[in-house]
Amino acid sequence: MSKSSLLIYLDGNIVPEADAKISVFDHGLLYGDGVFEGIRFYNGRVFKLTEHLVRIYESARSICMDIPLTFAELEKATLDTIAANGLRDGYIRLLVTRGVGPLGLNPYQCPKPSVIIIASSISLYAPEKYQNGLVMITCATRRPAPAALSPQVKSLNYLNNVMAKIEAIQGGAEEGVMLNEQGYVAECTGDNIFLVKGGQVFTPPISAGGLDGITRRAAMDLLGEMGIPCTEIMMTRHDVFTADECFLTGTAAEVIAAVALDRRVIGTGKPGPITNKLVEKFKALVTTSGTPVTYLS
């Protein structure tokens, strides 16, 4: 199905894309007040759907917002949206906005949140980048301190990440490494980061300020099955510069190598053997597991 003919779930109805409209008074638009999830589906199965839905309910609870659907209803709405579009492989963007209210920050003046589900395709990086690896720079834009907003809340206000992404692109890179206020590596603009050193794998702890990514967890589980230790450590740019390999994980990015940071080549400058093996394992996992979609006859 072409992008122009997508069907969108909007507050209980699946409607043509041209009719999927929200009010200019929706606080999700006015203030970035809302939460979201990005979810992948492969071969007619939604990868880690339960985990993603658990996380969006936790994000909503954290910002004092009640999603107006039960867990089972939201799961069905997600699967139905994929089926309505006849897609077997793609990407879901699930959003819950605060809903319509008067001007002003007060969320309690918004009587009901809006639920929007988009099922489409996504290509975060060019295909050759999955073969050759990404070039990264360190962003001057820092991750917000957890006391400002928990990094585990996937808020619609993604401006912090957007500004870091702008820096990366303007610096001639595909990705940007984001540090916390103490100067330790937190994550990238949209992905978690892993390093390989001496046959072991390392990644920043969640306390460093990154998202506890669902693909991050899946990668750690796969590494365990491969017999490769994965340890959470506070890491600096020096650790990235001197790593044997580096790879990133994320729902949209999947698993992808990074081969340079700030004009320092990482390892051999090519995707390394552990990264390549993990990519193979991840591809096998996502194409054989997940919540099945029931397609319309």
Catalytic residues: 154
Q: What single-letter DSSP state applies at residue 143?
A: P
> In the block, which residue shows the tokens 């199905």?
1
Give SS3 for 90. strand
Using CA atoms, how far apart are residues 148 and 43, in angstroms rounded to an integer? 40
DSSP 8-state class, residue 258: E
The whole-angstrom separation of Cα 80 and Cα 164 is 35
For residues 287 and 296, give the distance between their C-alpha atoms in angstroms, rounded to a whole number. Answer: 21
Exposed e or buried b for every residue in 273-290, given b needs 16+ CB within 10 A?
ebbeebbebbeebbeeeb
Contacts of 264 (CB under 8 A, 6+ apart): 241
Distance CA 211, CA 188 (A): 10
The continuous run of DSSP H or E covering 80 comes out as helix 71-85
Token pair 């006849």 in the structure block, residue: 86
Tokens of 269: 């400058």
Determine the Cα–Cα distance for residues 56 and 77; give it in Å rounded to an integer: 14
Residues facing 195 on adjacent strands: 202, 246
Q: How far is CA 297 from CA 86, 92, 294, in A?
A: 10, 22, 9
Contact 23, 145 (CB under 8 A): no
